[in-house]
Amino acid sequence: MATLPAAKLDELALCAKSGLDNHDSGLGCYAVDPANYDELAPFFDRVCEGYHHGGGKVHTTNWSLDGVEGLPEDGQLDLQKLGLGKELSMRVRVGRNLTAFPLPGLMTKADRVNFEKTMLKAFDVLKANPDYGGNVFSMTPNDVWSEVTGEAENPNLISADKYQELVDAHVMFKDMAADPYLASAGIASDWPCGRGCYQSADGGFIIWFGEEDQLRIMCMAKGFVLNTVFDRLHTALQAVEAIDGIAFATSTKYGYVTSCPSNLGTGMRASVHVAVPNLTSDGTDAKAKAAAKPLGLSVRGMGGEHTPIGKDGTIDLSPSSRLFITEAEIVTKLYNGIKLLLEKE
């Protein structure tokens, strides 16, 4: 690293700043530019090998379920086949960043607003599509919007009350400036400029912009067939990236680039809310986590990390792997993981 130019050494210091400031961090680092995984490879390769255990692998992308090990014969990941009789909350999300901008940790206030304005073209395409429709909700103040864009006001600005309503409904993300890890990494800087979300008319498709990654794109639904949310997300991603000026940042080694190395590759988290009352009979998720870990699954509370489980023993369950696994393998792994966890239940 001593041979790096001064500017790149400064970038490396910023990448590691969150961990240096917060000794209880997990990985303790965030990339601040899409090129960091290549240009700062001696650092990030060690981080990724320690976390993902790639052993020299190169990530591949594949959304096709054809031929995936563990896929049911009819190709349908139908949870009713596992004996579940009540519809589950299903969600699949990915993190994405654009090649045209630094990652959130290095973005200026102007970058954040210009990124939001760039994304409005994609949102207009989605709003015009009968399969999506919907609205954009922005937090960028009018004075900042006018300063950067030259326009009189932000056409999508929402009130503080509307913001809280969306947070309470789990449509919008919480105040990032209150997160010490994101604040140290520069990701929460300039809050709330360049932040907001798009939500489809049916409420089942949401894009967060300006969070830990520039985009968090997600589909959710109540039901039984995981293919439903998986296929809809894939179709939407193709529609978004087909728009001029929208190109998702990738690495030849690590797939889709994300701020946190833990999300590299697919950037995907596929999850369900499933009740396991026996494994949570003590009121905690400790037994559920112990049962899920050997299956390659992660357990969270119903509101995400560091939140409580449901009173009926409902947990949020998802495959742990993001990198060196395909999108199709993740959603299939979730299906088979639910089956094995229910057997332990």
Q: Annotated binding residues for ATP, as ranges?
A: 89-93, 170, 216, 269-273, 300-305
Helices (H), the chain: 6-21, 36-39, 41-52, 109-128, 142-149, 160-168, 180-184, 226-241, 286-292, 327-344
Position of tokens 């299939």?
332
Neighbours of 172 (CB within 10 A): 22
What are residue 205's phi and psi, to 5 degrees? Answer: -135, 125
The torsion of the CA quartet 48, 53, 54, 59, rounded to 10 degrees, works out to -60
Work out whether strand 215-223 and strand 205-209 pair parallel, antiparallel, or are unpaired: antiparallel
Measured between alpha carbons, how far is 342 from 176 in angstroms, rounded to an integer?
A: 36
The torsion of the CA quartet 125, 131, 137, 138, rounded to 10 degrees, works out to -30
Write out the binding residues.
Answer: 89-93, 170, 216, 269-273, 300-305
**Type of residue found at 287:** K
